[in-house]
Amino acid sequence: MRILKTITISVIAILILPAFLSAKMMSVSTTKANVRTGPSAGYDILWTVCRYTPFEVIDSKGRWKKIKDFAGDTGWIHSSVLSNRPSVIVKTAKANLREDPGSNEILWILEKTYPLKFIEKKGNWYHVKDSEVNGWLHKTTLWGFTE
């Protein structure tokens, strides 16, 4: 009985594990991109996103990727507007962008859903930038990928 239980658990793990391992992070590479209800341009637009917006890719059909954002919302986006560029998005109501990690000087106060390109990490601080801002945010204010 014990062997059967072990085999059953092993089989379930083998079937489920690839789904977790296949999750991939990507970000928007164009100035703007549409997230749609289905995998073609004929589907309705759910929302529009900006450059550096990160997503977790959870499925694909042809050149379309089913994505999930930091809030758990899902939709479809064409792969031509995605890249492997590491990026993050502000997940808190506001985030204080600082000149240096742990600095008291606030350069900007960024709003929720502000996407940024990831540069480097020092401890719990992330160096981020876009065409307007360049500074450090604490990891607790961010969602995305940095690898």
Tens digits of per-residue pLDDT, 35-45? 999 999 999 99
The whole-number average pLDDT for the span 21-34 is 88
Average pLDDT over the chain, rounded to whole?
88
C-alpha atoms less than 13 angstroms from C-alpha of 85 in its C-beta half-sphere = 19
DSSP state of 121: E
Terminal Cα-to-Cα distance of the chain (whole angstroms)? 43
d(CA 7, CA 13): 10
pLDDT tens track for 119-143: 999 999 999 999 999 999 999 999 9
Domains of the chain: 24-83 (2.30.30.40), 87-144 (2.30.30.40)
What is the β-pairing status of strands 82-83 and 64-68?
Answer: unpaired
Q: Helices in the chain by DSSP H: which ranges?
A: 2-21
pLDDT tens track for 62-102: 999 999 999 999 999 999 999 999 999 999 999 999 999 98
Tokens encoding 60:
């694909």
Tokens encoding 135:
């500074």
| Cα 50 → chain centroid | 12
Q: Where does residue 8 fall: left (phi above 0), alpha (psi -120 to 50 degrees), or beta otherwise?
A: alpha
- The total number of residues shown for the chain amounts to 147
pTM, entire model: 0.82
